[in-house]
Amino acid sequence: MKFLFFLLFVFALPGDAAPSCQLDGKIHEDSLIGGVPSNCFDDSLRLSMVKVKGGKFRMGSESGDRHEMPVHEVQLSTFYLSKYEVTIGQYLAFCESTNSHWPVWLEKGKDYHVETGTDSFYKDKGMSRSNKDYPVIGVNWEDAAAYCKWLSEKTGKRYRLPTEAEWEYAARGGKSSRGYTYAGSNDLKRVGWYYENSEGKVHPVGSLQANELGLYDMSGNVNEWCADWYDDAYYQYSPVKNPQGPIRDPFRVYRGGGWNSAPIRCRVTDRNHTFYKVHFEYLGFRVAQDK
């Protein structure tokens, strides 16, 4: 019982004590998130999930980088995506429960350790146990996947990382898309923290405007790991229905741009990738869930 109360405390975000969706685990079709119509629910761990209704869209860009081409049709089934990027409070509940997968800025003996280390690099970016509503950074793909597995075991629901196609569809606004360059606006300052307005650090999740689905920080704040392996030519042979990415590659996809990104890297179509075992100060994640 004490552990349950601890989780309920950790997963509650400041200012989110009375979310627009009732805390009864049900879907609410007429809810409003940040003034934007959305379908969402709050699960027993207070991880707010937004319903992304399935549909077809044109993925990619003819004016972006080569690996964003060709623009191709994708059809997705309905899924859920977390309204916010996974926060420090949420992620550390997992670390403390399992005593594993600590973010690099809390690894024992590391210079980057924000409490005992000599290098303030991550501390300067806003990393602290007390900043529970900041997005967690300094976690690699394996850390993010392990968090999803742990959360699934705790809730009885299957959490996972979103596929690259799901991520782009949701960032565009799904069926409610208005065709913005960034997630929710053509003016990046309204929806995302990036190098011009971030002051060199991450910011609390949900501080700026949401996109058409009520999702926050899909452009900027921190880049987000996706489930897929990376192939720069994948769009040339990607299946139409629920693409899962290439079979294997040393690199994993991440999306969205971060606090240190140029606007071009915060576009909803921009693709990026890195070795799945690395930890970066601009990389975090959000979680998906099947219908």
**pLDDT digits 0-9 by tens, 180-196:** 999 999 999 999 999 99
Nearest to 50 by CA among 198, 175, 200: 175
C-alpha of 107 from chain center: 22
| Least confident among 6-20, 142-156, 242-256 | 6-20
- Topology of domain 49-290, CATH: paralog of FGE (formylglycine-generating enzyme) (3.90.1580)
Nearest to 218 by CA among 253, 265, 251: 265
Is the per-residue pLDDT at 23 higher than 60? no
Q: Where are the domains of the chain?
A: 49-290
Cα gap 159→177, rounded to integer Å? 25
For 152-174, how does the pLDDT look when each residue is reduced to its tens digit (9 = 90+)?
A: 999 999 999 999 999 999 999 99
Is the per-residue pLDDT at 46 higher than 70? no
Residues ≥6 apart with Cβ < 8 Å to 59: 71, 72, 73, 74, 165, 168, 169, 235, 238, 269
Residues ≥6 apart with Cβ < 8 Å to 276: 140, 141, 142, 250, 251, 252
Is the per-residue pLDDT at 41 higher than 80? no
Percentage, residues of the chain above pLDDT 70: 84
Q: Which two tokens stand for residue 207?
A: 């501080």
The length of the chain is: 291
